Amino acid sequence: MNALSECLQDLNDSILNECMAVRVANGAPKLWRGERIAASWSIKALKIVASIAMVAAVVMAAAILPTLRRPGGRPQDSFCPDGILVEATVKGSKLNEAYFFAYCDIIDNYAPILLRSHEELLALISDMDEKLPDDTYHQALEKHSNIEEIIATYDEAYFKEHDLILYTYTDDIDDTETYMGLFWNETIREYQIHYLVDVHHTGIDGTLKFPVVQIETAKKLEPNCSVKIKFTTVRDDECHYCYP
Amino acid sequence: MEDKDIIGLYFERSEEAIRHTKDKYDGLCRSIAGNILSVAGDREECVSDAYLALWNAIPPQKPQNLGAYLAKTVRNLALNRRKAEQTQKRGANQSDIIFEELESVLASSETVETAYERERIRRLIEGYLSRLTADKRRAFVMRYWFFDSIGDIADSLGMTKAQVKMLLMRVRKDLKRYLESQGVGLEA
């Protein structure tokens, strides 16, 4: 048993009472582990179904909306009537958070990077390719094993054919998933978001150095809604999601 | 039923005391045992043992706070059973992760080898917790006393799991610094 846990055994009743009053597990008998796992899988299954449904809805909306707005237009060209999609893979590299984090480490700069154009994104990736050793991406993936799976599931299998960029991250501890689909709108020269799920997490090692994609607008954006996106890293007290 | 009425039943040696205790606190007991023990049978036995211990303890004891008293009994019994689980290598549980987290604050069991030292550290921790904000204190106690999952704590406090994790990490670091400043947990 941990030493500190032993010391805590006789904690003051008033402190325990305070917690007992607010614990969700207090009111009703809590599920045992087996039941919890079953419930957890049910939730996961629901999340997956919901995610697929969301993506399918977005894709359908994206395909239909341009036609509705501009009769005779070519919906297959773009999700947006005047938009140009960014390729899912650029020079064989995928820009994701773990990779970006490794890059930030190397350039020793955690300042927010605001991408204003497709060219800036390409330049950033190019700089990454130049500065990062060949195996960095794979090392980053090894640190965060679930990323590869998510990329394989969503990015390669689905989004690549739609030329979407997918930024993704999965927390190994609590399975929090962070992913979204982006495309570039040439007319307004901003990235646009098709869907977005749980953009915030703190990283699995608790150091808070992991990059967080900060979205300056609310979630559940309408198709073709424009947002500015910053790729940034958060260290300790800087995270405005946790400490607004 | 009020706690004092239930305790009155114990003093009358009425078996209704157990029934009313279960009605009121079974969820609490099960959640604590469930967080610490991985084997279903052990959890059931642990909760039953806690009721029996309560029956044997009252009277002569007359706890001022029946819920906290029972919670402490369950926790203690569960942690003792957990030692047996570990000896028999009967699988990992959430508590293993929580103990690992606590290791970062106070690693060496030799630090608290005497009852006097345990009591001193407990008082230091209580003092420290009393200075925290309510949410930080609740999150810490839920995690490291009740062994609640990050998800349950987040639900209880209306926070995201990421927020809870970050908050706990900061409290652990801060507590470690505080204990060290008081001469606890420092290498000789």
Angle at the Cα of B115 from the Cα atoms of B114 and B120, rounded to 5 degrees: 100
Here the ipTM equals 0.77
- Of the two residues A154 and B166, the one the predictor is more confident about is B166
Alpha-carbon span B46 to B54, nearest angstrom? 12
Chain B residue with CA closest to A243: the answer is B163
* pTM > 0.80: no
pLDDT at B176: 85
Calpha distance A151→A166 (Å, rounded): 8
A101: region left, alpha or beta (phi > 0 left; psi from -120 to 50 alpha): alpha
The end-to-end CA distance of chain B, in Å, is 52
The pLDDT value recorded for residue B173 is 80
Which range has the worst mean pLDDT, A14-18, A35-39, B149-153?
A35-39
Size of interface A-B (CB pairs under 8 A): 157
Sequence-distant (6+) residues with CB within 8 A of B81 are: B36, B37, B42, B45, B46
A7: contact with B, CB 8 A cutoff: yes
CB–CB of B36/A9 below 8 Å? no
Residues A193 and A221: beta-carbon distance below 8 Å:
yes
At residue B161, does pLDDT exceed 70? yes
Sign of CA dihedral A63, A64, A68, A69: negative
Q: Report the gap between the CA of A144 and the closest CA in chain B (Å).
A: 16
* Residue A195 pLDDT exceeds 50: no
- At B32, list the tokens: 């604590």
B142 vs B40, higher pLDDT: B142
Tens-digit pLDDT profile for residues A69-97 = 222 222 222 222 222 222 222 222 334 44
What does the pLDDT read at residue B43?
Answer: 83
On chain B, the residues whose CB falls within 8 A of the CB of A20 are 28, 67-68, 71
- B45 pLDDT tier (thresholds 50, 70, 90): confident
CB contact A49 to B (< 8 Å): no
**Chain B residues within an 8 Å CB radius of A11:** 122, 125-126, 141, 145
Q: Which of A206, A202, A181 is nearest to A192 (CA)?
A: A181
| Contact between chains at B72 and A173 (C-beta distance less than 8 A) | no
Cβ-contact A180, A167 below 8 angstroms: yes
